[in-house]
Structure 1
Amino acid sequence: MFINTMFLISAAATIIGAFLVAVSKNLMHACIFLLLSLFGVAGLYATLGADFLAATQLVVYAGGVVILMLFAIMLTGGIEQAFNKFGLKKVAAMGTTKTYATAGFMMIVMSFVLMKILAPVLKVQKHVELEGIKPTVNEIGTKLITDHVLAFEISSILLLGALVGAAVISRPRRIRK
């Protein structure tokens, strides 16, 4: 019962956070709503028994990406850049009647596809007792260090290359005289 309740709360947080990101006009608020959505996804992972993915979701996405986005918004000015050199407010082109009609049609088609996919799942089935949730962190750690050590090392080299590339791109340019 507790797991079902937590799953529904996490799903609601994910959906509400994603919706608020899409409709928010303030970038800082959108980042906070994105954080809510990412916490909801971590909660979904935790309730499904994927504790390693839940922890990774919190550390990498909620902890790293959102903080990076907040710093980028604060450093670039965010809202102040919404005006052009004449003092007029910049407005993003959000679509035309044709794009809205296409999106509405695709939404209806996707709704029917989802109903077709979910119909067998939502039928009343016999109650089956599931196994208890087992922690996966030890097993994943053992697999990474033994069977998949080459992939682990290659990913660390790729991340190091990305870090060096970011440092090179962000360094100040020297002016030659």
Structure 2
Amino acid sequence: MNGSNQTFAGMTRYRWVVCSMLFLATAINYMDRQVLSLTWKDFIAPEFGWNDTDYGLITGCFSIVYAIAMLVVGKFVDKVGARRGYLWAIGLWSAGACLHAFCGIATNGLLGGEWLTGFEGARQNLSTLQTVADGVWTVSTVSVWLFLAARCVLAIGESGNFPAAIKITAEYFPK
């Protein structure tokens, strides 16, 4: 019996469960990346007063951070191991995805309102500002920078998906 038959004989069906989990995580990775482009025009832009320039800034910075992080994260995954590196990546991109939900609350809180009042409270706080234009500009600026920070965290976490998934696939499916 040669070495390749011994390797194949020791494999179980568990590797297909791992493959399915990697596929699911990669699909979620793609959905997280695309959700802003699908919702910003109809839902996010009217709430925060964003324009095309704001959206371009956020997506452009996301792409740059993602590309730079891909250079670093692959070495990190090699250093700590594929399983730990993937756990790190999923944890970080989950935290980045959760940060998006707090951008509206934080925008409201930074404008002097209570942190848990939501968008209605933000609208009431806007009425206390000197002019509506100043209020829209403030909400737009604060929300853009908060979304930009959340997208950067998401980009760093998502960049670990492919190096870790490819390494885990190579471990569970040898030649």
Same fold (TM over 0.5): no
TM-score (norm. length: structure 2) = 0.28
- Structure with max Cα Rg: 1
Greater fraction helix: 2
